[in-house]
Amino acid sequence: MASYLGEYSATSMVSSHEEPFESTRTNLVTRIRGSRVKIPDLKSLLSHWPAKIHPQVDQLEKHVQTTLESIFTHPEDEDRLRKMKESKLGLFTASWYPYASFETLCVLADFCVWLFAWDDETDSFEFSPLADDFDSATAFRDQTISFIRQSLTRRKPEGTTPTTAPRLISCFEPVGAVLYESYNDDQIKRFMNEIVFFIEMCEEEHNSQQADCLPTIEQYMQRRMGSGAVRVCLALTDFASGSVLPEDVMLDDSFQIIWHETNIIISDMNDMLSIKKEIEQSQVDSLIPLLFLKFGSVQAALDQATRELSGSIGRLEAAERDILSRYSTATAETQEKIRHHIEACKIACTANVDWSLVSGRYKIHSASMEDGIHMVL
């Protein structure tokens, strides 16, 4: 993984040990807050990649609202339910997987609801005590892994009964039931591995946030490759499309680069677009504040992240050319499946930035990035 981290691992590493004053979180928030910045036009970087939305997005949004209301039923959930509804998870799902059937899309939306709600449960100081209780959060994460593994295990020991779990774990159950029936053993193993990686990196991130020192950029990016859940969502591409790629293709080095660069692109764009929200919440364990320590200004940090995005786009497209060339003698069906999966990765990138601009989650509320987005942090 580290070999694909570009300049982050080579020239942009931040040592909190070497810069004790700058690396204290309070001082860093103080230095960044009030900065006037311009987020560059990220959409223009991806303008040559496909962007689509499922035509039944409005119907899907109604399904999402109903699902959320079935989970957050307590009076004390009112604010959380409102904010989850403002996140536009129907649009998120319809943009990420526009090629899925509507029935499949509803399952994917249920997964996205679970994913976002579960993530907030462990890192939102606003909604959950677990964010400030590492031991309890660790137990919650361990219980999640056990529950999902049991949901997807084909050969359960005789006499096994379903494990009872908190609502923000157990609401994964209907998704698990469908994947259990739809996926083969390799697909289930891959999805489970990505879920475990996601949860383990969330735990490392949580632990790091409670430490005195900030992570280096390399440490942060290695965790971010899991905690951002991009790979988990990519592992559902087969389910969304209803097709199965040969295992040798999935394990191909170039194919793994495509997944990794997709992860970098989406994670970096999220960190850029969420900077205002994070500074408002005094959160600096993310890419732009760490780059700020290296380059001396938030604008320089954003510009460096943009250069890294361009590099990732180039590396993804180079890997695409390589794998299509090497599989040019494969069956027409296999070649088409490879093209579709690569297109799905590109769609995920355009979908994520388009959704981020209008979702209430990042407080941007602008569908356009023409001439960039100006903001005061």
Q: Name residue 39's beta-bridge partners.
A: 373
Burial of 172 (0-12, 13-18, 19+ CB in 10 A): buried
Residue 22 confidence (pLDDT) above 70? no
- CA 317 distance to own-chain centroid: 21
- Segment (H or E) for 214: none
**What letter represents residue 355's amino acid?**
W
- CA 348 distance to own-chain centroid: 10
Residue 267: helix, strand or coil by DSSP?
helix
Residue 74 confidence (pLDDT) above 70? yes
- As a whole-number percent, the residues of the chain with pLDDT over 90 amount to 81
Residue 1 confidence (pLDDT) above 70? no
Residue 376: helix, strand or coil by DSSP?
strand
pLDDT band at 173 (very low <50, low <70, confident <90, very high): very high
Q: What is the pLDDT of residue 158?
A: 54
In angstroms, the CA 185 to CA 152 distance is 10
Residue 143 confidence (pLDDT) above 80? yes
Residue 116 confidence (pLDDT) above 70? yes
Domain ranges of the chain: 2-376
Burial of 205 (0-12, 13-18, 19+ CB in 10 A): buried
Query: In the chain, count of helices (H) and strands (E)?
Result: 20, 2
pLDDT band at 156 (very low <50, low <70, confident <90, very high): low
Radius of gyration of the chain (CA): 20
Q: What is the pLDDT of residue 162?
A: 55
Domain 2-376: CATH architecture, name and number where available: Orthogonal Bundle (1.10)
Selection from 288, 283, 284, 294 nearest residue 267 by Cα? 288
> Mean pLDDT of all residues in the chain?
91
Instruction: Read off the pLDDT of each residue in 262-267 and give the average, rounded to a whole number.
Output: 98
| CA distances (Å), origin 142, targets 138, 145, 196 | 6, 5, 9
**Cβ neighbours of residue 321 under 8 Å, at least 6 residues apart?**
none
Burial of 75 (0-12, 13-18, 19+ CB in 10 A): exposed
User: Token pair for residue 60?
Assistant: 């899907």
**Cβ neighbours of residue 277 under 8 Å, at least 6 residues apart?**
361, 362, 363
Residue for token digits 């799905």? 344
The predicted model scores a pTM of 0.92
pLDDT band at 131 (very low <50, low <70, confident <90, very high): confident
pLDDT band at 358 (very low <50, low <70, confident <90, very high): very high
In angstroms, the CA 193 to CA 146 distance is 13
- DSSP conformation letters of 11-77: T----TTT-TTTTSHHHHHHHHTT-EEEE--HHHHTTTS-----TTHHHHHHHHHHHHHHH--SGGG
Selection from 184, 348, 338, 186 nearest residue 254 by Cα? 338
Residue for token digits 């859940």? 229
Q: Which of 86-95, 153-162, 261-270, 306-315 has the lowest mean pLDDT?
A: 153-162
- CA 310 distance to own-chain centroid: 19
